[in-house]
Amino acid sequence: MVTCARHFEGETRAEIGSILEEMGDSDPQITITEMSGILTVKTKISPKDIVKKIHEKIEDEPWAMRYTLRVIPIFATTNTDVESIAGTVMEQAGKLKPDDTYRITVEKRHSEIPSSEIITKIANQIKNKVSLEKYDWIILVQVLGKISGVSILKDEDILSVEKEKRII
C-alpha cells in the first residue's frame, strides 16, 4: 500500500511504477483506490525489498521521491469483518517468538467496525505480551472499505519518505 497527498495519485503511480521497473517488475498492478491519497500495488517483488530500494533511492537522490509519502507492506488481504481479519493475523502470527512483544495498529477508512473490536479479537488470540511503547512487532490492520490488509512487521519495514528525508 502506498500513500500520497490528495490529487497526486497519478504522479505517485508513475513514481512507484518507475521504481518497480528498475527492480525488474515491468508489469505491476498499481491501483488508485476510491480513497483519496491511497494506492494499492501488487507486484512480484517482496515488499521489504521495495522499502529497502526506496530507502536507498532517498539516500542517493532525495529529489527523486516527490509524491510517495508512505510505503506500507501488506502481506495478506481479507474481507473486512472481525473474524476474517483475526484469522488472517493468526496465519502470520508464527513470526512472533514466545518472548516477543507486539502492538496492534488499526488504520480504518470507509468502515463502521470499531477498531477496539478488531484489537480485542486479535489480542485475545495472541498469547504474547502487549507493549505499546517498546514492542518487537506491529500487527498492522489497514481497513479499506470492504477489504482489509494485514501485516505483522517491524517498525523499519514501514517507510515514511518524509521521515527518511529528515534523517539525511
Same domain, 129 and 80: yes
Among 41, 71, 101, the domain-final residue is: 71
* pLDDT score of 168: 67
Query: Phi then psi for 72, rounded to 5 degrees?
Result: -120, 110
Three-class SS of 42-73: ECCCCHHHHHHHHHHHHHHCHHHCCCEEEECC
The CA distances from residue 49 to 11, 55, 56, 57, 133, in Å, are 22, 10, 11, 12, 27
C-beta of residue 90 within 8 angstroms of C-beta of residue 125? yes
pTM for the model stands at 0.92
Query: Is residue 38 within 8 Å of 3, Cβ to Cβ?
Result: yes
pLDDT digits (tens, 9 = 90+) for 88-145: 999 999 999 999 999 999 999 999 999 999 999 999 999 999 999 999 999 999 999 9
Reported as a single tens digit per residue, the pLDDT across 3-48 is 999 999 999 999 999 999 999 999 999 999 999 999 999 999 998 8
41/67 same-domain check: yes
pLDDT (0 to 100) of residue 165: 85
- Show the domain range for 121: 76-153
Predicted pLDDT of residue 167:
79
Banded pLDDT at 166 (limits 50, 70, 90): confident
Q: What is the CA radius of gyration of the chain?
A: 16
CA distance 166 to 82: 37
CATH of residue 87 = 3.30.2130.30
Per the structure, how many domains does the chain have? 2
> Which of helix, strand or coil describes residue 151?
strand
Q: Same domain, yes or no, for 120 and 142?
A: yes
Which pLDDT tens digit goes with each residue over 36-90? 999 999 999 998 899 999 999 999 998 889 999 999 999 999 999 999 999 999 9
pLDDT given at position 110: 95
Last residue of one domain, picked from the residues 11, 43, 71: 71
